[in-house]
Every structure is written in C-alpha cells, then in structure tokens.
Structure 1
C-alpha cells in the first residue's frame, strides 16, 4: 500500500526563523509610522537651565533663578507671606515700551499675547489659582509694570505658598518667542507669540524648555 501524496498531517512543522535584522527593521518602521514619518517627527524645544539667555524676538531674557522669599508682616496681627519667585533679566528689544503681562491660563490663549509674561506658556508644577501669579518689574524705590526699550529690567513672577506648604524642588517653563507682523485690518504692526496651526486651532510654538532649581529660604 502506498502513502497518500503529501505525507502525514501529523508531521511536525519546521519553525520559521525570522532574522534579528528583519525584526529590528520592522520595529523601526513601526515607530516611524507612529511618529508620522521621519520628516514629520516633532522637534524637541531647546533645553536651557539657570543663567541661560534666550532671544525671544521682542525680548532678550536671562533666566536668573527661582527661589523662596519671605515678605515680613508689617503688623503683629498679620502673617508673614512666603512666595516662590521666578527672576528674569529682560531687555525689551523693540522700539516701544511694553507691559510685562501675565502667564496664560492655557497655552492656546497665548497666541495673541504681546507682553513678556505671555510667552511663559506653561509652568510645571502648576500652582493653585489663589496662589497668583503676581508679576512686576523691580525698580529703584518700588515696582513697575513696564519694560522700556533697550533697558535691562528685573522681572519677578510670584506664587504665594500656603502655610506649611513646601515649595517644589524645581520649576519647568515652556517658553515661546515673538514674531512681528502687520494687522491686515488696522494696518498697524504688532508683536505676538509665534504660533502654528494644529488641527483646527492655532497653538503657540515652544522655543525653549527651561528648568530652574528652587532655592530654599535663607540660601543664596
């Protein structure tokens, strides 16, 4: 008697060996596809630290430090106030005096900002709404909210700490830049945070990511 053509169906199958190189290539292709292609992978913003200087177009900004400061009470029934401060040396590179502004509540709301603090797109960790922020320019004999052309100004951004609240170890800032353009309706040139279209809305572009260690009270 002869065996049926094709042999026994119980015969064990020989395993298929896939070369390691092929697996690696497949993995790379898969990751590239997830990123939308090599040419479309998002660029990481410039990484900066304490003391770095950034050209923001309208401003030149030095990230001096982050620290905890105490504002002593003026009267016995008042309490001392503790703050986390971010300190910047800012030079207005434009031709006109500008304000210092406020950090945006959400990054997308910064696209129309023209003042300095509007470029602080995201601050991590986030502080509670009742903590601030408070912004001012430290000047001789007091405080100001203006940045004059060509003058280096010390800008302070503050968040108040609650009683016994511990400050973070570090603060990370996503920082934007400014571009100069003309308003097609009013025909007046203006500065605004550089942005790009993402989906169906404009989003500010992150030019740099700055990490500042927080100095504790009493340190220099």
Structure 2
C-alpha cells in the first residue's frame, strides 16, 4: 500500500511539477500589443510557466500562435519536449470573450501539462465609451482597428447604469466601436482576467 501511495505521489509531482518555457506568442492580423497581454496571462495564471530562455533547460516548451480571420480568432499552441513537437491544439472563437472562455476552460483539458494556478472568477460589468460619433443603434459591437471582434453586439444602456471599464476618444461607425491598439489590448486583458461585458454606455464627447 505504501509503495502504491508513493508511486501516486510521484506521478502527481511529475504531472504538476514540470518546468514549462513559453516562447513569445506569434501574432497575425491582430494588434501587436496583444503579444505581451497573452504572454503575461500565461505566465501569471498557469503553473510552472516561465519566459523561454534558450540558456535554460525546460521539461516542456510551448509556443502560441494567435491570428484573426474575418474578425474571428484562431489560437494554436505547439508543445515541445526535448526540442521535438509532441502536441498541437487549436481553438477558434468568434469574439474575444469567447476566446478568453476557451483559454480558461478548454486549454487545461486539452493540454495536460497546463494547469491554472487558481480559478478565474467571472465578473459581469458594463463598459463605457466616450465618442463624438452620433449613435443611431440599439446594439453595438467592439473591434480593434485590425477588425477582430472583442465584444459581440451588446445593448446600449442609458443612465443611471454604471460602468467599470471605460475608454475615451473612440470612433463609432454605425454599429461598431473601433478601439485603438492600446485600448484593444487593455480590453483583451480584462477579458482574459474574467471580465464579461453586459452592456455598453455611450458618453458624448464635448
């Protein structure tokens, strides 16, 4: 019995105690600012992940590829062991919110060496956009200037609704709010950290 328990503990340690190096994500058709956001998210939220350094020896190395096609996202993660590819997982998502959900919920199930350090709670909040653009729609979606859809269509709210996240000097084209690269990266960071947008307030710029 003692031997069985020891083997079990060794297996648990082996599964959860591996050193993982993550290479800088490759970004295509997306704001370059996303690169740092995704890199930091994996390092800060998954166990045993460190920035890749060729001088260090890692049990595993992972390399994310993140791209956008027609507004949707595609994320692939290559997994290497002893410099040889052993696994690749790809997921697609129609919005940044959906992408964040899949990274949090599906990636740990698909790649057995990746384990979240702790649960990422979902926080449902409103977002405020300040813009000089006239609004004639009841619903609006949010994209980066590259065209990737961070937030699918959400209802435009009226006061006294309050917002937790806000961006100013936003261009709104009919039913689409366009965030600059810095704003888009910040919103993506919020999404990865569990924030989900319920509705959107529009504040008229003076």
Same topology, TM > 0.5: no
With structure 1 as the length reference, what TM-score do the two structures score? 0.23
Larger Rg, first or second structure (1 or 2): 1
With structure 2 as the length reference, what TM-score do the two structures score? 0.24
